[in-house]
Amino acid sequence: MNDNSTIMRAAIVDDEKDLCYLLKNILKKESVDAIEINSLEEAKSELEGIHPRVIFLDNHLPDGTGIEFIPHIKKKLPDAKVIMMTAFNAAGEENMAMANGADFFLMKPLSRKIIQDTLSKIGLRVNH
């Protein structure tokens, strides 16, 4: 049985319910407990309380852009890994995300393999 110190936590900040469901299931199979957050406003109040080791952050949310939210995350949770996700990679978005502190930049649609490979690359994959 896991105690709280051994449970890896993740946050999924995305307003697409289907993607959140898919990602939560992939993470569960990797022994990662994920919470779904659907807006930046909700993320401001939720993230510090759960202290996730990894945050999957959509760029296009109803109340702002994930790219602009990265510095807030890094200030409050400097050890959290931020994985920026987007379906629309406008010119320069990847560079801007990385400059703001994102650890990875992924294009949607996501697959189980992409998620597993990304978790491995940042040292967060539990089940190899």
Reported as a single tens digit per residue, the pLDDT across 39-78 is: 999 999 999 899 999 999 999 999 999 999 999 999 999 9
Q: Which domain holds residue 24?
A: 8-120
Structurally, how many domains does the chain consist of? 1
Return d(Cα 83, Cα 79) in angstroms, integer: 13
Contacts of 111 (CB under 8 A, 6+ apart): none
- Average the pLDDT over 74-87 and give the result: 95
Helices 17-29, 112-121: crossing angle, 10 deg rounding: 60
Residue 36: give its domain's CATH number: 3.40.50.2300
Contacts of 56 (CB under 8 A, 6+ apart): 10, 11, 12, 13, 14, 23, 83, 85
Whether residue 127 lies inside any domain: the answer is no
Residue 109: asked if its preceding bond is cis (omega within 30°), the reply is yes
